[in-house]
Amino acid sequence: MDSSPRQRRLIIAAAPAVVYLAIRLIGLLVLAWLSAANDEALLDNLRAWDGQWYLEIAQHGYGGVDPSMVDGFGNRYPETPLAFFPGYPLLIMAFALIPGVTATGGAIIASLACGVAAAYGLARLGRRLGGSDGVGLLLVVLFAAAPMSVVLSMAYSEALFCALAIWALIGVIERNWLLAGLCCAASGLVRPTAAALVGVVGLAALIAIVQRKDTWRPWLALLLAPSGMLLYIGWVGVQTSSLTGYFALQQRGWSSHFDGGVVTAKFVLESLTTDKSVFETFTTWIVLTAVVLLVLLLRSRVPWPLLLFAAAVLVLDLGSDGLMYSKVRLMLPAFPLLIPVAIGLSRRRMSTAVTTAVLIVFFGSWFGAYSLTAWQYAI
């Protein structure tokens, strides 16, 4: 029996994971290089900044977080750790149950595993929207190599949230309402950005209900979608004796509130007109590139849930005050922005597509590594 078709199927099946992990390995090698150049430990950088909070919560619970850890203004209040959602720490704990795996190891394994899950979702979406496996793999490449994709290898919650968001939107597009509802509910326990996903999944389910499609199944998504976020924000409200407790602690600890993009616009203008650092200048140009990609996505024929989700993520990110240096990281879940690029590259010559992909991989790897080593502030 000819084994060629079977081998081809195996290669196609393994390709998203292999491509994703290969790019993340390149990112880790670049991070190791810049860590050594700056006399820093690679492992310390992989669990830096927010990673320290997630690891403390995973190991000691919200009440046992090291009291020396402080918010963005150098203060510490009893409710400060509640700014970090519990989904990712719970996953860290699950992986840390494996014999010989530490909390740090569990966090990194969890992020890589979630990244692989996200890669398979992207490959599926790319194949559906672009009509070929090549588009799917290009979408995986662009996501794995995006600026600040370094957090996909760190003790950060982005990989978990992105995987859940991707599969929730696949559920919406394929009208698998149980998948959409469960993934959306879980995402609400991971990051506040889940508000964008809840809105999209809820609206899609409501439209299906009004149009009398799929009988009772859209009701599952409509009811499940907001449950995770409501549960955690409600719990924080109980702990702080205020219905708006979560939002109050975010604003007090990290100056994170919606201002319509005023502070972001000021940051962009200052970066373009005054003497700013390399990191701040590149951050500005990446933000502007994301806006251009949103316009391209608007002109393309992608399903409206993908367009609306990408737009909502950008609005929540760029429309909020807070740490400007985190803007690029917080845009990472807006993966639909990459779809027009993946489709466009798939229509070019192989040499053009490969050269472009290689340049993006090495730029993304450098930018993420630079932000953790040479740059001295939080990301």
Please write the tens of the pLDDT for every residue from 294-319.
999 999 989 999 999 999 999 999 99
Q: Tens of pLDDT along 256-267?
A: 888 899 999 999
User: For residue 320, what is the DSSP state?
Assistant: B
- The predicted structure's pLDDT at residue 322: 81
| Higher pLDDT pick, 13 / 1 | 13
What distance in Å separates the CA atoms of residue 266 and residue 275, rounded to the nearest whole number? 14
Domain boundaries defined on the chain? 12-372
Helix (H) or strand (E) holding 362: helix 350-372
Q: What's the pLDDT tens digit per position in 322-372?
A: 889 999 999 999 999 999 999 999 999 999 999 999 999 999 999 999 999
**Residue matched to tokens 């998948």:** 179
Q: What pLDDT score does 266 carry?
A: 95
Q: So what's the pLDDT on residue 323?
A: 84
Band of residue 2 on the pLDDT scale cut at 50, 70, 90: low
Residue 120 token pair: 């398979």
Calculate what percentage of the chain has a pLDDT beyond 90: 90
Predicted local distance difference test score (pLDDT) of residue 133:
92
pLDDT at 76 over 70: yes
Return the CA Rg of the chain. Answer: 20
The Cβ-side half-sphere exposure at 195, using a 13 Å CA radius, reads 11
Type and span of the H or E element at 194 = helix 194-210
